[in-house]
């Protein structure tokens, strides 16, 4: 019976697939582009029911083997979903309970642990497939022929231009990562820059870079939770890149309220982050969110861009400019996936040295699925990426060139792109 169901599923897939059953019998395409080796009969049911997230976990755990290009494997995964795109949104009671759980999941200690789980995995592993600056967020392909390295630099500069950074301004980078934006802003725009992170590895790396580049007088990085920043001396400009995905639904008012307290009246804030593709907390189908939670980003939670704007406005911030970079992130993830696939032996060696053979195998399999799967998800609009520029209005109706501006934003976009290098 189960073999017949598997055969039916194989016949309708967009990519030729062969399946090896736990008995050793092989069914499917004679010239497959993807091979699935089921070593566990329970995992077979996951394929027939379209529980792709659970099937991914079985691959990570070694209960299912997969061979072939990761891009082809993701095409197979998408075709197996019973409801491509999104599940039905949860009801009001379910959403209320989810918010309660969200609040419990995002204490300071739990957030620090969850950040460490991902970002402190092994710096040398990330260095294999990120660009030399280790920018771990969506690149900006300002021209079609840009390499990933140049596209990441274009993204860093785009953020600085949108914020209209000026020399000697006080700039805060929340979730500073491996320091790319922090250092770019200081070296190219002359700001006095402060970064915060919960990753001990990233904090050590950025501290070392600051010393090596002689920037200790005007650049610093702190191992600190955003909730613990004191608003006693507000910043002129703030960036938060790839960070608010870790905040949690329940803490969004706290997060945006903290941004409001940290920025001076009239100052600008850039929030760059992944957003949900579905309205009303509709999850991506196939339990894909559960896979990410378990193996990649524990504690990660996404909100829709409409909720992003609502939360910012609710905290007293004025959303000024919102840009969708979803295809840029799909392309970025394709680059990352291809780079990792080209260096698998090196990646395995690094992870074995850091975590031992068994854990290394699980991590590598998880990241191969994650990078290729997320590229597909961004291409299909299941998740998105937005840059939202906002301001804290200062109430000054006449003190700027544009009457009623109430912030440093000129209310036109030419200042961002004027004289921009290709």
Sheet arrangement for strand 263-276 = 219-223, 192-197, 170-174, 235-241, 263-276, 383-391, 318-324
d(CA 324, CA 322): 7
Residues 6+ apart with CB under 8 A from 395: 265, 406
Token pair 């610093």 is at which residue? 220
Catalytic residue among 360, 374, 377, 408: 374
66 contacts 59 by C-beta, under 8 angstroms: yes
Tokens of 371: 């990078």
**Catalytic status, residue 138:** no
276 contacts 311 by C-beta, under 8 angstroms: no
> Which residues are the active-site residues?
374
């Amino acid at each position: 019976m189960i073999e017949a169901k598997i055969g039916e599923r194989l016949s309708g897939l967009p990519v030729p697939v062969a399946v090896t059953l736990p008995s050793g019998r092989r069914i499917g395409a004679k010239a497959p582009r993807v091979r699935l080796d089921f070593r566990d009969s329970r995992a077979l049911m996951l394929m027939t029911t379209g529980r792709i997230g659970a099937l991914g976990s079985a691959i990570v755990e070694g209960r299912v083997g997969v061979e072939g290009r990761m891009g082809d494997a993701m095409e197979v995964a998408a075709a197996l979903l019973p409801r491509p795109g999104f599940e039905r949104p949860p009801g009001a009671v379910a959403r209320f309970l989810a918010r309660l759980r969200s609040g419990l999941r995002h204490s300071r200690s739990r957030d620090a642990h969850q950040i460490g789980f991902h970002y402190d995995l092994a710096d040398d592993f990330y260095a294999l497939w990120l660009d030399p600056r280790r920018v771990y967020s969506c690149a900006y392909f300002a021209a079609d022929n840009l390499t990933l390295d140049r596209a990441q630099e274009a993204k860093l500069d785009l953020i600085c231009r949108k914020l209209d950074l000026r020399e000697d301004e006080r700039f805060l980078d929340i979730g500073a990562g491996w320091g790319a934006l922090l250092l770019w802003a200081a070296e190219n725009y002359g700001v006095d820059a402060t970064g915060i992170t919960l990753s001990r590895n990233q904090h050590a790396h950025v501290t070392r870079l600051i010393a090596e580049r002689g920037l200790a007088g005007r650049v610093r990085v702190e191992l600190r939770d955003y909730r613990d920043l004191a608003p006693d001396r507000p910043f002129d400009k703030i960036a938060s890149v790839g960070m608010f995905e870790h905040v949690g639904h329940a803490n969004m008012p706290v997060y945006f309220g903290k941004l409001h307290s940290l920025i001076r009246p009239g100052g600008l804030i850039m929030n760059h982050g992944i957003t949900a593709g579905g309205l009303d907390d509709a999850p991506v189908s196939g339990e894909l969110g559960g896979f990410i939670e378990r193996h990649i980003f524990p504690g990660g939670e996404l909100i829709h861009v409409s909720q992003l704007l609502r939360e910012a406005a609710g905290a007293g911030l004025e959303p000024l400019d919102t840009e969708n970079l979803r295809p840029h992130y799909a392309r970025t993830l394709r680059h990352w996936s291809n780079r990792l696939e080209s260096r698998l032996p090196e990646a395995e060696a690094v992870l074995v040295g850091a975590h031992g053979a068994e854990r290394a195998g699980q991590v590598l399999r998880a990241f191969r699925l994650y990078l290729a799967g997320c590229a597909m998800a961004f291409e299909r609009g299941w998740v998105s990426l937005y840059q939202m520029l906002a301001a804290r209005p200062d109430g000054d109706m006449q003190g700027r060139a544009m009457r009623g501006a109430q912030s440093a934003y000129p209310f036109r976009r030419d200042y961002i792109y004027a004289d921009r290098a290709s």
